[in-house]
Structure 1
Amino acid sequence: MLVNKAYKFRIYPTKKQEILIHKTMGCSRFVFNRFLGLWNDTYKETGKGLS
């Protein structure tokens, strides 16, 4: 029998950590959107997506 448990934590980052978190999320979003656009363009041209 498998029992799943979850824990919820609230973090209180310092101002410096908060800035770093925002920068990291911004970079991740940029990379995701960049490759999503590349995938869409490739699909439109060839009818196949990227692997």
Structure 2
Amino acid sequence: MPQMAPMNWMLLTILFLICILMSMIFFCYFYNTFNNINKISNIKYYNNFWKW
């Protein structure tokens, strides 16, 4: 039993680090897509403004 405790802690820490990395990657990806959507919407807004 004492030999399995460190393995469980290692697995938990590895899973925790993987979750953090995945969340950071998804946050960066969605942040970039959100900025691109804002740029596109601003371009559409300016085009409509010049048309009017």
TM-score, with structure 2 as normaliser: 0.63
Q: Percent identity?
A: 3
| Counterpart amino acid of residue 43 in structure 1 | I
Unaligned runs of 5+ in 1: 1-12
- Tell me what 1:40 maps to: 34
TM-score, with structure 1 as normaliser: 0.64
Task: After TM superposition, give the deviation of residue 46 of structure 1 in Å.
Answer: 1.2
Report how many residues are paired: 35
**CA RMSD of superposed structures (Å):** 1.3
Unaligned runs of 5+ in 2: 1-6, 42-52
Distance (Å, rounded) in 1 between the aligned partners of 2:15 and 2:34: 29
| Structure index of larger Rg | 2
The structure whose RCO (Cα within 8 Å, separation 6+) is larger is 1
